[in-house]
Amino acid sequence: MMVNLCGLLNANKEPVPLKSVEVELEVRDHVATVVSTLNYENKEDKPLEAVFVFPLPGDAAVCHFSAKIGQTQIVAEVKEKQKAREEYDDALSSGQQAFLLEESEQSPDIFSLSVGSLPPGESASIRLEYVTELAVQADEGLRFILPAVLNPRYQPQGSEGGSVQVTSVPASLVPYSLSFSARVSSPRPVSKVESNCPLDPLQYLNTEQSQATVKLAAGHKFDRDVELLIYYKDAHQPTAVVEAGQASAKPGSLMGDPVVMLSLYPEFPQAVMSSLASCGEFVFLLDRSGSMSGARIKSARDTLLLLLKSLPMGCYFNIYSFGSSHEHIFPKSVEYSQETMEEALKKVEEMNANLGGTEILKPLKDIYSQPCIPNQPRQLFVFTDGEVGNTKEVINLVKKNSGSHRCFSFGIGEGASSALINGLAKEGGGHAQFITGTDRMQPKVMQSLRFALQPAVVDISVTWDLPKGVSVTALSPPITALFQGQRSLIYGQLTGQSSEAAEGCVTVKYSLAGHPSQNQLHFSLQPAEDTGLTVHRLAARTLIRSLEMEETERRGEQDEGVKKKKVVELSVQSGVSSAFTSFIAVNKGNGETIQGPLVRRNDPTLLMQCYMVSGLPLMYEMSCDMPEMTCARKAKAPSSPGFLSNMKKKRVVFKRAQSEADHLSPQSDGQHVNDASSSSANSSPQQPPRDPLLQLVFLQKASGCWVLDPALAAALGKTSEEVEKPKPASVNKEVWATILALIWLHGFKMDAQEEWELLAMKAASWLRAQNAPCVTECVDAGNSLLGCKVQKDVLGL
């Protein structure tokens, strides 16, 4: 069904009621507070009800929601979900204005906002606040994402809950203004801030450069997520923040006691890190649903080529792909050899995004049903654009199997579900990566392969040493994975008082490749000033998430009820959203029944677009042919705005348009632009069909060597004769070819070293095993031929 673009206007061709959006971001070290203000105006001649659906970061703690109508400010309260829905319906039936904010029961990164009973000509301003932890990137930058795109989520047949199906509309039609500003502060200097969108220059607020502000340049169109990368000097320092409890809350409760947030960066011994594993079962699971078409699937094929060339001899591997159905290259994982690698590459070259929807649960069950291979630890790599409706079910399955594998996840393109991608890695003891804009997939994936080849960290334990009279309650789930240089966050509730020295200590012990190791952090128990309740809210969110994720399969209804009661109590006490609670705000000031029929903006005939910005709908479509509904209704559940759980009752139904606008290419535009330089905003030219680097990589054998043939000569930009002539007489052809390939990589492709580093290590290891004569002579002759100056030791020889 094609999108009817006049749907952006109402029946009288008047604009949609969202007028403007303001976003303010405050970053303190590695925690962000986001305040979004949405300004609405009802230009209808009838009262208006509208429903908006939008994405938020999957681990965000929504902690404030309020509405201002005229001069009246109404602050929402957190209530149990069904009670909140009933209160909302009662308010509308009585002609009162009401606002309801709900988290999806299927996926914690989708929210719906119902704006009820806005009188004709009236304006409303809605304020939404949330806090979130910032993820650490491979280059030590902290990543903040303002989601602009909520992609269609595929709901497998027979699964519970309705699907959120949305359409994509060109961003040029976004009819309102948006402003975005950020303030960054840290104990360490802020070295730079980068974005995929043009920024105004960074402004420092003090001489230490530890505080700065930055704004999005004017004229930005929200056709993609806004990504900020914040870099601090000496980012890898462990830190601890103790936050005082809320004065009005009961001592002994989570909000009444101080809470500590520890940020740890394990540093592993160099000797252990340099020895990459030579075993393992590597299972690659590739999304081939329709939304992966174009640049996404091509990038995924190139990435699988690099992965297959970088695997160690002696390991096992298999490749699964999925859409509405799923396929595998081999019935079960096979040993890595030249033959199996060639067979896999042939199948990879033929892969297209032609398998329909995004049903990831069945292939995962298939993978987990295969017995593990002794002494070959299973490593699962999942590539998806994350358009999945049954997020919690998928994550629960990975968690259930976390004892037998590690899961590394990759979110591809704008709008990939952060709840799904982060959840897979967190529960699977792996690492999550997001590939957006013009990001290249290959370096991020190869970094995760390096993590997968690191020895697994086992027997992780956390011990606390606190003064007499002070005890700690852990609020974070146990740490299941540690990787070199990657941050681990731990939250703890501190109860009691001590007259002794106000210092605590936490020790993380673990075993790495058979060596017992530990990292220790001493911290002051003195609460930090001026952090508000940010740490408490993040801690509450962490605890709520782990309670929600507790396995429910073997629980009885009674246990499920106990869990739900715990989550609701914690959510209401902390003022942080959960799957079982909602924010409800009712303007009780005007009890008069509103005259005239109430225009609904969520009828089944409605096409609703969900391009949105963190609590900000980027666009929605309105229907022009809906039945009128009077507001003096008393019906409860069937008309309650129950979001996903009530989708089947047709309260909010989104139709997915199968048009060329349906899926944005992840490679469309918007590379990272340094804040100080506008010239780098120009996107790089498209690559030729097969990049010279990939051409050379394609020719490498599974053992690590190259063969001296015309294809290699062409990849090096030479003729066969030019390549063969300078070869020292006593050296065999494979040794000479492999040395030439390594010199070319080091001489011409250092900017892409992350992508080929592992396969070059494999080549160097193969060369060392040959004990070849005249290696120095070969390197000199190779440099001379290729016009390079690469040293022998740089090649690892």
Does residue 640 carry a pLDDT above 60?
no
- Rounded Cα distance between 374 and 364, Å, is 20
User: In the predicted model, what is the mean pLDDT of residues 765-779?
Assistant: 89
What pLDDT shows up at residue 177? Answer: 64
The verdict on residue 246 lying in a domain is no
The verdict on residue 595 lying in a domain is no
CB-based contacts of 314-318 (< 8 A; 24+ apart in sequence):
314/278, 314/279, 315/278, 315/279, 315/280, 315/281, 315/282, 315/376, 316/280, 316/281, 316/282, 316/373, 316/376, 317/281, 317/282, 317/283, 317/284, 317/344, 318/281, 318/282, 318/283, 318/284
SS3 category, 428: coil
What pLDDT shows up at residue 4? Answer: 25
pLDDT in tens, 747-761: 999 988 989 999 999
CA dist 611 → 140, 354, 672 (Å)? 29, 25, 21
User: In the predicted model, what is the mean pLDDT of residues 605-618?
Assistant: 31
Element of type H or E holding 241: strand 239-243
- Rounded Cα distance between 430 and 450, Å, is 12
Q: What are phi and psi of 114, to 5 degrees?
A: -100, 125
Distance of alpha carbon 214 from the chain centroid: 23
Do residues 148 and 224 touch, judged by C-beta distance below 8 A? yes
39: left (phi over 0), alpha (psi -120 to 50) or beta: beta
The verdict on residue 222 lying in a domain is yes
Residue 590 confidence class, pLDDT cut points 50, 70, 90: low
Does residue 83 carry a pLDDT above 70?
yes
Q: What are phi and psi of 416, to 5 degrees?
A: -60, 135
Does residue 306 carry a pLDDT above 70?
yes
User: In the predicted model, what is the mean pLDDT of residues 76-93?
Assistant: 93
Give 683 or 112, the one with higher predicted confidence. 112
Are 120 and 207 members of one domain?
yes
What pLDDT shows up at residue 342? Answer: 95
What pLDDT shows up at residue 118? Answer: 75
User: In the predicted model, what is the mean pLDDT of residues 150-171?
Assistant: 45
Give 712 or 645, the one with higher predicted confidence. 712
Are 57 and 176 members of one domain?
yes
Examine the fold and report which residue of 555, 587, 619 is the final residue of a domain before the chain moves on.
587
Please count the structural domains in the chain. 3
Q: 173: domain CATH number?
A: 2.60.40.1730
The total of other beta-carbon atoms located within 10 Å of residue 700's CB is: 26
Count CA atoms within 13 Å of residue 490 on its CB side: 25
The total of other beta-carbon atoms located within 10 Å of residue 422's CB is: 20
- Angle at which helix 753-770 crosses helix 692-699, to 10 degrees, equals 30
Examine the fold and report which residue of 421, 453, 485 is the final residue of a domain before the chain moves on.
453
Span between the terminal Cα atoms of the chain, in Å: 61
SS3 category, 615: coil
CA nearest neighbour of 361 among 331, 333, 382, 344: 382
Examine the fold and report which residue of 453, 472, 494 is the final residue of a domain before the chain moves on.
453
Q: Percent of the chain scored above 70 by pLDDT?
A: 78
Do residues 516 and 40 touch, judged by C-beta distance below 8 A? no
Per-residue 3-state assignment (H helix, E strand, C coil) for 74-98: EECEEEEHHHHHHHHHHHHHCCCEE
Are 111 and 206 members of one domain?
yes
Are 225 and 88 members of one domain?
yes
- Rounded Cα distance between 91 and 115, Å, is 12
pLDDT in tens, 692-749: 899 999 999 999 999 999 999 999 999 999 999 999 988 999 999 999 999 999 999 9
The total of other beta-carbon atoms located within 10 Å of residue 369's CB is: 7
Are 101 and 176 members of one domain?
yes
- Give residue for tokens 């709908």: 617
Does residue 6 carry a pLDDT above 50?
no
Are 227 and 125 members of one domain?
yes
Are 185 and 90 members of one domain?
yes
Residue 602 confidence class, pLDDT cut points 50, 70, 90: very low
Residue 670 confidence class, pLDDT cut points 50, 70, 90: very low
- Rounded Cα distance between 110 and 97, Å, is 24
Tokens, residue 792 = 């022998």
Give 596 or 653, the one with higher predicted confidence. 596
The verdict on residue 511 lying in a domain is no
Domain that residue 580 falls in = 9-237+574-587
User: In the predicted model, what is the mean pLDDT of residues 185-194?
Assistant: 91
- Give every strand in the sheet of 110-118, ordered side by side: 77-80, 581-587, 97-103, 110-118, 48-55, 599-601
CA dist 290 → 297, 309, 377, 492, 659 (Å)? 10, 27, 32, 44, 12
pTM (two decimals): 0.74
Are 582 and 708 members of one domain?
no
Residue 588 confidence class, pLDDT cut points 50, 70, 90: confident
Give 740 or 95, the one with higher predicted confidence. 740
CA nearest neighbour of 150 among 352, 420, 392, 364: 420
Specify which of 239-253, 299-313, 317-331, 479-493 reaches the highest per-range mean pLDDT. Answer: 317-331
- Rounded Cα distance between 772 and 217, Å, is 58
The verdict on residue 355 lying in a domain is yes
The verdict on residue 418 lying in a domain is yes
Per-residue 3-state assignment (H helix, E strand, C coil) for 687-698: CCCCCHHHHHHH
User: In the predicted model, what is the mean pLDDT of residues 18-39?
Assistant: 87
- Give residue for tokens 């640049």: 295
The two most distant CA atoms of the chain are separated, in Å, by 99
- Give residue for tokens 């006490």: 573
- Rounded Cα distance between 665 and 149, Å, is 12
Do residues 410 and 421 touch, judged by C-beta distance below 8 A? yes
Residue 56 confidence class, pLDDT cut points 50, 70, 90: confident
In DSSP terms, which residues pair with 616 in a beta bridge? 613
Do residues 599 and 44 touch, judged by C-beta distance below 8 A? yes
User: In the predicted model, what is the mean pLDDT of residues 441-461?
Assistant: 85
Q: What are phi and psi of 10, to 5 degrees?
A: -85, -175
Are 96 and 196 members of one domain?
yes
- Rounded Cα distance between 37 and 126, Å, is 6
Count CA atoms within 13 Å of residue 626 on its CB side: 26
pLDDT in tens, 331-344: 999 999 999 999 99
Q: Percent of the chain scored above 90 by pLDDT?
A: 37
In sequence order, the 6+-apart residues with CB closer than 8 A to the CB of 5 are 169, 173
Does residue 684 carry a pLDDT above 50?
no
Do residues 483 and 475 touch, judged by C-beta distance below 8 A? no
Q: 433: domain CATH number?
A: 3.40.50.410
Residue 626 confidence class, pLDDT cut points 50, 70, 90: very low
Residue 120 confidence class, pLDDT cut points 50, 70, 90: confident
Q: What are phi and psi of 327, to 5 degrees?
A: -135, 160
Residue 418 confidence class, pLDDT cut points 50, 70, 90: confident
pLDDT in tens, 227-286: 899 999 877 778 888 999 998 899 899 999 999 998 887 777 777 766 666 788 999 999
DSSP assignment of 39-66: EEE--SSS-EEEEEEEE--TT-EEEEEE
Q: How many residues does the chain have?
A: 797
Do residues 614 and 54 touch, judged by C-beta distance below 8 A? yes
| Counts of helices then strands in the chain (DSSP H, E) | 16, 35
Are 81 and 176 members of one domain?
yes
Residue type, 724: E
Are 290 and 372 members of one domain?
yes
Q: What is the dihedral of CA 683, 686, 690, 694, to 10 degrees?
A: 0
CA nearest neighbour of 185 among 22, 23, 31: 31
pLDDT in tens, 378-394: 999 999 987 777 888 89
Residue type, 236: H
User: In the predicted model, what is the mean pLDDT of residues 288-295?
Assistant: 89
Cα angle, residue 266 at apex, residues 481 and 478 outer, rounded to 5°: 35
Residue 414 confidence class, pLDDT cut points 50, 70, 90: confident
The verdict on residue 776 lying in a domain is yes
Are 328 and 390 members of one domain?
yes
The verdict on residue 746 lying in a domain is yes
What pLDDT shows up at residue 356? Answer: 84
